[in-house]
Amino acid sequence: MATEKRWTAYDSLQSYLTTELNSLANNSLVLGSAIDFTASGTDRKIYMDIELYLASIDLTAQHNPSVYIWLLYRLSGSLTEDGSGSIIPAKMPDLIIPLRTANEAQRVVSSKLLTTPYQSKILLQNKTGVTWASSGNTLKYNIYSLQDA
């Protein structure tokens, strides 16, 4: 007989990037601090939901505006795979967040991004075609896993 699975309880929603996103120019990169996917207990958190909020953004003249997200893994010691505020990783983004071509604030949630059993950092790239608002932009995340019901 198959074992039924359910989501574990969410950790609290974590503010991850805030003021770093303000006035972020098109094609610019922002690297966040390390996230430990085992920090909330002995079970490894395998999924991540990401919430991106962009305050007051005019994308009406843009074609396919989006935001690229990479999870940069730390496999050993303090070494993290390539990627920084000035280096685009050689691998494809782990997540592409599409945005509407509208002139208003936007909040987008992307769910079930697969994490790693290692510490990671989020690297974000603005691919909207415009510079973001000077205040109010945020990237938050929540991590969770599966458990037997």
Instruction: Please report the pLDDT score of residue 39 as a whole number.
Output: 62
- What are the pLDDT digits (tens) for 37-84? 766 555 678 889 999 999 999 999 999 999 999 999 887 767 678 898
Q: Is the pTM of this model over 0.85?
A: yes
| Residue 61 buriedness (CB in 10 A; 0-12 / 13-18 / 19+) | exposed
Instruction: Give Rg (Cα) of the chain.
Output: 16
Q: Cα separation of 66 and 88, whole Å? A: 16
- Is the pLDDT at 110 greater than 70? The verdict is yes
Instruction: Please report the pLDDT score of residue 75 as a whole number.
Output: 72
Domains in the chain, CATH or no CATH each? 26-148 (2.60.120)
Mean residue pLDDT across the chain: 89
